[in-house]
């Protein structure tokens, strides 16, 4: 079982981003649709992943869904907490998703299929509004983040083998860099930095937090002059 050589939630905060928050009025379904429909130029952030040499066939293609649930009073992002016995990223907070299969045809199809398999969210509730640039993980995956609006009411049926819990975090919280921490682990192999966005008892970190940082940078560029 592959686990980090440290408990990320116990490490002290190294720094907190000083970037400005995305205003709540900019986080509406219509505005999100428009941002992805006519995006302004923006700069991605590589994150702190420690890269491993790719396999002989290169990085493994994968996709995740960033499901933005349209609640009456706010937008919220849906996450999964992975079960503790999995071989990869056991117990961690993730977006629904996984590696591509030959029959998928596109990253969007991978994200939709994996979401349905993992948490039972039917695609009839999902409106794809765009994608973010691929994110390369240190474990050799090339992940396409697929951003979608999710319309309630919907029912979920999580796969008990993969998913311990499904929960939501307000999008406004995630798009406020005051909640974007950098933490540092000092290991025998050297220093490792990573992003973390703790929310209550849930600890969002690593690749998931880095992809959220890219979503922040995308939205910050779209709202810079509005």
Mean pLDDT split into 10-residue runs, the chain, 226 residues? 72 95 96 97 82 67 98 97 66 92 97 98 98 91 97 96 95 98 86 94 95 98 84
What's the token pair of residue 32? Answer: 């999100």
Q: Are 219 and 129 in contact (CB under 8 A)?
A: no
Q: Domain 8-35+57-223 is of which CATH architecture? A: Alpha-Beta Complex (3.90)
Q: How far apart are CA 150 and CA 67, in angstroms?
A: 6
Amino acid 1: pLDDT: 43
What is the reported pLDDT for 50? 61
Tokens in use for 53?
């040499």
Sequence spans of domains, the chain? 8-35+57-223
User: Can you tell me whether residue 6 is helix, strand or coil?
Assistant: coil
The structure's pTM equals 0.93
As a whole number of angstroms, the distance between CA 176 and CA 100 comes to 31
Q: 147: closest CA among 74, 93, 80, 97?
A: 97
How far apart (Å, rounded) are the C-alpha atoms in residues 136 and 142? Answer: 5
Residues 6+ apart with CB under 8 A from 71: 152
């Amino acid at each position: 079982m592959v686990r980090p050589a440290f408990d990320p939630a116990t490490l002290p905060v190294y720094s907190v981003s000083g970037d400005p928050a995305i205003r709540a009025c900019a986080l509406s379904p219509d505005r999100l649709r428009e941002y992805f429909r006519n995006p302004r130029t923006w700069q991605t952030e590589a994150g702190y992943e420690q890269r491993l040499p790719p396999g002989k066939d290169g990085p493994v293609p994968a996709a995740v869904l960033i499901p933005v649930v349209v609640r009456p009073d706010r937008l919220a992002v849906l996450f999964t907490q992975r079960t503790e016995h999995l071989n990869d990223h056991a117990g961690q907070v993730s977006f629904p998703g996984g590696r591509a299969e030959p029959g998928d045809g596109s990253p969007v199809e991978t994200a939709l299929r994996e979401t349905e398999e993992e948490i039972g969210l039917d695609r009839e509730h999902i409106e794809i509004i765009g994608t973010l640039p691929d994110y390369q993980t240190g474990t050799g995956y090339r992940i396409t983040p697929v951003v979608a609006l999710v319309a309630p009411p919907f029912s979920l049926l999580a796969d008990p083998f993969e998913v311990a819990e499904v929960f939501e975090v307000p999008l406004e919280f995630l798009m406020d860099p005051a909640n974007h921490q950098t933490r540092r682990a000092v290991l025998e192999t050297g220093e490792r930095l990573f992003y973390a966005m703790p929310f209550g008892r849930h600890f969002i970190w690593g690749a998931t937090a880095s992809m959220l940082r890219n979503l922040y940078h995308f939205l910050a560029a779209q709202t810079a002059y509005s």
